[in-house]
Chains A and B, each alone.
Chain A
Amino acid sequence: MKKIFGLLALAILAISTVSCGSDEPKPVPPLNGIYSALSDGSSDYETTTEKYYRFFLNPDGTASDNSIYIHNAKFDEKMPLTINMRIPVDPKQVTRTTNGFTVTVNEIVPYMLSGGTEIPMEKFKITNLALTVNTTDKLFSIRFTCYGLDVNESGKLNM
């Protein structure tokens, strides 16, 4: 009897150890996205004129769970408008890392957020997009080309 209990205890211990070892902490994307921080440290995203990002990244989810939003986007004086846009991302283009996510996209047509309608903006096609989101250190960096303009930005996250 003692032997059975001992073997059973060892088995439980072994299973527990294996379970704990395989359950490493996974970055969990917030339901309302990860925001880039505003320069004044506030959360007044509704009324800011500053460009900011929202990241919806979930490699385990569907296409509707993955997007990069850029608000008040005017990368250069040459851009005719300041645009609120959504860059759709395929979940396969999102990679989970130990402390966040990376995204790599070769080419994608973003959408302008026109009320409840999204309008594809062929003229503002995004190419060579590379994004790193570090949820541990609350930092991000992004680079891409849009409207013939090279964009390379980094900053803090509001988390």
Chain B
Amino acid sequence: MCALSAASAQGADVTLGDTLSLREVTVTAIKQVEDTLEAGAVTVIDRRTGERNGVMSVKTAAPLVPNLFVPDYGSRMTSAIYIRGIGARMDQPATGLNIDNVPIMCKENYDLDILDIDRVEVLRGPQSTMFGRNTMGGVINVYTLSPLNYQGTRIMLEGGSHTTLRAGVSHYRKLSSTLALGASASMNSTAGEFVNEYNGKRCDWERQGNARVKLDWQPLEGLYVSNVLSACVTRQGGYPYERVETGMIAYNDTCFYRRTSVIDGITVKKDFDTWSLAGIASYQYLDDNMTLDQDFTPIPYFTLTQARSEHAATLDVVARNKKSGKWEWTNGATGFYRHINMRAPVTFLDQGIAELIEKHRNEALPDYPITWDERKFVLGSQFTAPTWGVALYHRSTLDLGKLRLAAGLRVDYEHAALNYRSTTHTGYVILHNGEFFAHEPIDIDDKGNLGKHYFQFLPSFNATWRFNERNSAYATISRGSKAGGYNTQMFSDVLQQRLMNKMGFGSAYDVNKVVGYKPEKAWNFEVGTNLATADRKLRADFDLFYVQCRDLQLTVFPEGTTTGRLMTNAGKSRSLGAEAAIAWQPREATGVNLSYGYTNSKFLEYNNGKADFKGKYIPFAPAHTLHASAYNRFAIACGDWLNSITLSANVQAAGRIYWDEANTLSQPFYALLGGELTLEGRYYTLEVWGRNLTGTRYHTFYFVSMSRDFLQRGRGRSLGATLRLRF
């Protein structure tokens, strides 16, 4: 006979069947401030919370964090992460991602599923002093289970709407008292939700496989070594863009995204008597191919391919003293090298040639119309882009009792180069009075080498007042930076202008001016407080912030033209807002969590050559983010088969989101309701869940292509179940 009670005999974070080492060994927190009361605006998602909320990636963790917004659009190649209104859709990211201490160099590798996440930390606000480039909005740290801390076997099986299947298996064991090995493999597959009306097939199908081997070793007292080797293979259709005019997804040419990545990262940490030394080195390989029907219509206009292979290496050496006395210090040196080979051809098809070239030209010169030699030709682009950088950084903290003062500085140098080759071989016939007038070949083979370098000084200051061991208030001033470089996606503009120039209209651009851009910088001013009751049943974090960005990396139209864009650093913006996170656990079996973020982000200066957007809201960043959840666990005394039943519900919401700089189009505030019923036994957890239960219709992305408006629809209602086994 099973007995039901509302009180649970189990602690919230301990699950029967897990084996936890009594002494937690960690090589995490290498350079972070170890005490979260002094770390500023930080959200930590532990394993239990993550599993309950289906957190398997940065994207699925985002709703739990105030002012963190990671919209679902296109494919896994595009990770537009917005923190406090600061984000990026092209080229360099504004938020850093570290997985098991390894900084992920390529933004196109941010969106991947990660099995056995132990903890996710989101540090909001510029973290550039300690973490360097591309952390202007913040840093996300993901840690996976350590086999020195956790031993056992875990199996995960999940099925859901749209024929979605996930499976994962992992095994963690100690090979000796000082050596432990963890290995995991997972896959996910979905038939897709959205239908391409042109061919009747679902376009957002996906298959992904992941594998990870983690070796943790403590060869000597005070010496820790951790090596993580991971690989991920992704194949997906992607790009479920519906045309606003028709409300339909319908395009004829192939769209897909393929990615293979391998990352190996090794962390070595040595504890000495009064200080520690850690080194984190990594090698990262990525090979991907994005192919698009660039017009996203059933008409053959043009297609784009971007195929890349990338090798990167990073090294970070950190020394810090141990807490004793009033002065704590951290010194670090870091370096990286990244080498990209890419080819990015744009193929003009029949209708594209007819409407984008012939029609445009013949309307202006009707007495001498042209016809293209062939109904398909290629604008080819190839690049190699080596980038490297070095930095030195330091942080000092002065302990004055209840008051702690910290200051840090990073000196950063980076060199970015781009070697390009743009080619096309085509031609056209000029007619007059219906007769042949002339033939013009177009042969372009442009090569060039570009390079630029930057110095950055990135300081930070923090003052923390500790009321007691649970409550504190802080103030922070920090500077952040998003790297400069070259936007290779602009080369299609360069080559199109070159083609038009050869035909007698349009300007040939200075490549360096079109594709090159300088770093973007931000100053962040923030005050906040971290509070908890004596019994820690109620915890709350609040903060207010003001961020000012300069040298925004934007695309503009050159003076006097209305076609052909170029990159520039031409704008200023500001974001101000507030964040709140509350966790209340009145009883051990009951919990309520709330996280809310408000951001008011506007342009202070931005004129793109066609219009002035001063005072307008920054697009793609939501004004509000909200996540609220509640759960109650009922203890069941029914042997090993059933220990508890948990009911939980959650709401995640975001908006208003403006889609364009002119603020003429927007997604209103929307909310998605979710729920979960969890059965838990000694060796298993079975979750039956529902997401977006009310079927709310909303959109996550907007863009314009060839004067046509497109939106990506948000995911609809989905139901599923997840079985987790552990032994």
Interface residues of A (CB under 8 A from B): 44, 46-51, 71-72, 74, 77, 80-85, 112-117, 119-123
Select the stretch in B266-274, B434-442, B468-476, B529-537 that faces chain A: B434-442
Contact present for B511 and A114 (CB under 8 Å) = no
Decide: A72 near B430, CB < 8 A? Known: A81-B505, A114-B503.
Answer: no
Cβ–Cβ < 8 Å partners of B367 in chain A: 120, 122
Contact present for A82 and B365 (CB under 8 Å) = no
Q: Is B501 an interface residue (CB 8 A)?
A: yes
A-B contact pairs, 19 of them (CB 8 A): A49-B559, A49-B564, A50-B559, A72-B560, A80-B363, A82-B506, A82-B561, A112-B365, A112-B504, A112-B505, A113-B504, A114-B440, A115-B503, A116-B438, A116-B440, A117-B437, A119-B430, A120-B368, A123-B365
Q: Which of B550-579 contact A (CB under 8 A)?
A: 558-564
Q: How far is the CB of A85 from chain B (nearest CB, A)?
A: 8
**Contacts between chains A and B (CB distance < 8 A), count:** 81
In the complex formed, the residue of B with least CB distance to A73 is: B505
Cβ–Cβ < 8 Å partners of B561 in chain A: 49, 74, 82
Q: Which of B31-62 contact A (CB under 8 A)?
A: none
Contact present for B503 and A47 (CB under 8 Å) = no
Cβ–Cβ < 8 Å partners of B513 in chain A: 47
11 extra interface residue pairs, beta carbon distance < 8 Å, beyond A47-B510, A47-B511, A49-B560: A48-B510, A49-B507, A49-B559, A49-B561, A82-B561, A84-B501, A112-B505, A115-B441, A115-B502, A121-B365, A123-B366
Q: Which of B426-457 contact A (CB under 8 A)?
A: 430, 437-438, 440-442
Q: How far is the CB of A123 from chain B (nearest CB, A)?
A: 7
Q: Is B508 an interface residue (CB 8 A)?
A: yes
Contact present for A81 and B560 (CB under 8 Å) = no
For the complex, give the distance between the alpha carbons of A49 and B497 in Å.
10
In the complex formed, the residue of B with least CB distance to A85 is: B504
In the complex formed, the residue of B with least CB distance to A80 is: B364
Q: How far is the CB of A98 from chain B (nearest CB, A)?
A: 35
Decide: A84 near B440, CB < 8 A? Known: A47-B509, A120-B367.
Answer: no
Decide: A50 near B560, CB < 8 A? Known: A117-B430, A119-B365, A122-B367.
Answer: yes
For the complex, give the distance between the alpha carbons of A82 and B559 in Å.
12
In the complex formed, the residue of A with least CB distance to B361 is: A81
Q: How far is the CB of A69 from chain B (nearest CB, A)?
A: 12
Decide: A51 near B442, CB < 8 A? Known: A44-B510, A115-B504, A121-B365.
Answer: no
Contact present for A117 and B440 (CB under 8 Å) = yes
Contact present for B508 and A46 (CB under 8 Å) = yes
Decide: A84 near B364, CB < 8 A? Known: A49-B561, A114-B430.
Answer: no
Contact present for A74 and B560 (CB under 8 Å) = yes
Interface centre among A51, A83, A85, A119 (most CB of B within 10 A): A119
- Write out, one digit per residue, whether chain B residues 486-503 have a CB within 8 A of any chain A CB (1) or not (0): 000000000000000111
For the complex, give the distance between the alpha carbons of A51 and B505 in Å.
12
B interface size (C-beta, 8 A): 33
Ranked nearest first, the 7 interchain pairs of A and B with the lowest CB-CB distance are A47-B510, A114-B504, A115-B440, A49-B507, A81-B505, A117-B438, A112-B504
Cβ–Cβ < 8 Å partners of A81 in chain B: 360-361, 364, 505-506
Q: How far is the CB of B443 from chain A (nearest CB, A)?
A: 10
For the complex, give the distance between the alpha carbons of A121 and B366 in Å.
9
Contact present for B442 and A83 (CB under 8 Å) = no
Contact present for B430 and A49 (CB under 8 Å) = no
Cβ–Cβ < 8 Å partners of A113 in chain B: 504
In the complex formed, the residue of A with least CB distance to B442 is: A115
For the complex, give the distance between the alpha carbons of A57 and B560 in Å.
28
Q: How far is the CB of B564 from chain A (nearest CB, A)?
A: 8
In the complex formed, the residue of B with least CB distance to A51 is: B560
In the complex formed, the residue of B with least CB distance to A111 is: B504
Cβ–Cβ < 8 Å partners of B366 in chain A: 123
Q: How far is the CB of A129 from chain B (nearest CB, A)?
A: 20
For the complex, give the distance between the alpha carbons of A51 and B502 in Å.
16
In the complex formed, the residue of A with least CB distance to B562 is: A77
Q: How far is the CB of A146 from chain B (nearest CB, A)?
A: 13
Cβ–Cβ < 8 Å partners of A119 in chain B: 365, 368, 430, 437, 504
In the complex formed, the residue of B with least CB distance to A46 is: B508
Interface centre among A49, A71, A72, A112 (most CB of B within 10 A): A49
Cβ–Cβ < 8 Å partners of B504 in chain A: 83-85, 112-115, 119
Q: How far is the CB of A81 from chain B (nearest CB, A)?
A: 4
Q: How far is the CB of B98 from chain A (nearest CB, A)?
A: 40
Contact present for B503 and A72 (CB under 8 Å) = no
Interface centre among A48, A50, A84, A114 (most CB of B within 10 A): A114
Q: Which of B356-387 contact A (CB under 8 A)?
A: 360-361, 363-368
Cβ–Cβ < 8 Å partners of B440 in chain A: 114-117
Cβ–Cβ < 8 Å partners of A115 in chain B: 440-442, 502-504
Cβ–Cβ < 8 Å partners of A44 in chain B: 510
In the complex formed, the residue of B with least CB distance to A44 is: B510
For the complex, give the distance between the alpha carbons of A26 and B700 in Å.
70
Interface centre among B365, B441, B562 (most CB of A within 10 A): B365
Cβ–Cβ < 8 Å partners of B503 in chain A: 114-115
Cβ–Cβ < 8 Å partners of A48 in chain B: 507, 510
Decide: A83 near B430, CB < 8 A? Known: A114-B440, A115-B442, A119-B365.
Answer: no
In the complex formed, the residue of A with least CB distance to B512 is: A47
Cβ–Cβ < 8 Å partners of A116 in chain B: 438, 440
Q: How far is the CB of A28 from chain B (nearest CB, A)?
A: 30
Q: How far is the CB of A89 from chain B (nearest CB, A)?
A: 19
In the complex formed, the residue of B with least CB distance to A115 is: B440
Contact present for A83 and B502 (CB under 8 Å) = no
